[in-house]
Amino acid sequence: MEILIAGGAGFIGSNLTEFHLNRKDEVTIIDNLITGNNKNIESFVNKNLVKFIKADIVDYDYDELPTFDIVYHLASPASPIQYKKYPQETLITNSFGTKKLLDFFVKSHSGSFVISSTSEVYGDPLVHPQPETYWGNVNPVGIRSCYDEAKRFAEALVMVYFRKYKINLRVARIFNTYGPNMEKNDGRVVSNFIIQALSNHPITIYGDGNQTRSFCYVSDMVKGLYGLASRKNLAGEIINLGNPVEKSIKEMATLIKELTGSDSPIVFEKIDQDDPKKRKPDINKAQKKLGWNPEIPLTEGLKKTISYFKERFL
Ligand code: UDP
């Protein structure tokens, strides 16, 4: 199969690239490397296993591209630190960039289109766990809104194209994901805690640590994305992908400290505006429509992630 991955040099995108290469698919990546990292894909690029186009999806000339079986749109800053650093780029990529990719998809008569949306569309949720039918509780002008509203706009645009052209568009609402190819400095809780624990620096909990998240190992996420792209009769569907095992941030700090054998103290720092108090996906729809279930338990996934950080950064 011919696969296009916009954002293929990023954390999830590069894992998805590897997944498709293992299936012997032909992969083309477009990435401007604003938050993606060359290192994630250089072994594939050096061996000519992927075609890498260093470009911004907003102004790339798509006429040069062929028809694809699957187009994945994962191009966007995605960690809070990154989208707060690049708020305009985040808004523009998810609006104009999404439009450009959708226009290319229509014109090229490609097979299926999957866009990465996010659990952030639910904001600081008042419904728990979050099903796809929940409309969310989002501050439209807060510091997270550049991401939340960008993704909500992207979803709205996808649904407009779906209704207008009756084409094969699918939306993945991705919940917190972790694993190899996370960036050291992207500020996510798993990467921060592992790096802090391994270097015996204080483990920084923001707020009281009672806020919760539900963490999905990246190999499970990639299988879910492929299931969403390849299963029949899912045009116009929006599906949560994530691991519903919920943990408090305090529990995560203790677990990572234990798994790394670290002597780091745990310290409490100020929490940022609009940090969601809890988050857990309702994955009934993914289970039914994709036959998908996350398989990697948290402890196993964290051990693999700790090994990755030791190998790549220490
Ligand atoms: N967090 C923390 N310490 C850190 C980084 C994050 O306590 O060093 C908290 C953060 O405030 C949030 C949760 O961990 O409540 C998850 O943060 P992350 O940035 O990974 O993603 P989010 O789910 O907020 O998008």
For 237-282, how does the pLDDT look when each residue is reduced to its tens digit (9 = 90+)? 999 999 999 999 999 999 999 999 999 999 999 999 999 999 999 9
Angle at 146 between CA 236 and CA 80, to 5 degrees: 100
* Within a domain: 202: no
* Within a domain: 300: no
Pocket test for ligand 1, best of 188, 215, 218, 243 (most atoms within 8 A of CB): 188
Q: Which of 60, 86, 122, 147 is catalytic?
A: 147
pLDDT band at 314 (very low <50, low <70, confident <90, very high): confident
Q: Across the chain, what does the average pLDDT equal?
A: 98
Contacts of 309 (CB under 8 A, 6+ apart): 184, 191, 194, 195, 198
How crowded is residue 154: how many other Cβ atoms within 10 Å of its Cβ?
A: 26
Specify the number of domains making up the chain: 1
pLDDT at residue 60, as a whole number: 98
pLDDT at residue 210, as a whole number: 98
Q: pLDDT tens, 19-51?
A: 999 999 999 999 999 999 999 999 999 999 999
* Within a domain: 70: yes
* 147 is an active site residue: yes
* Within a domain: 190: no
pTM of the model: 0.98
pLDDT band at 121 (very low <50, low <70, confident <90, very high): very high
CATH number of the domain residue 21 falls in: 3.40.50.720
pLDDT band at 92 (very low <50, low <70, confident <90, very high): very high
* Within a domain: 46: yes
Pocket test for ligand 1, best of 120, 122, 213 (most atoms within 8 A of CB): 213
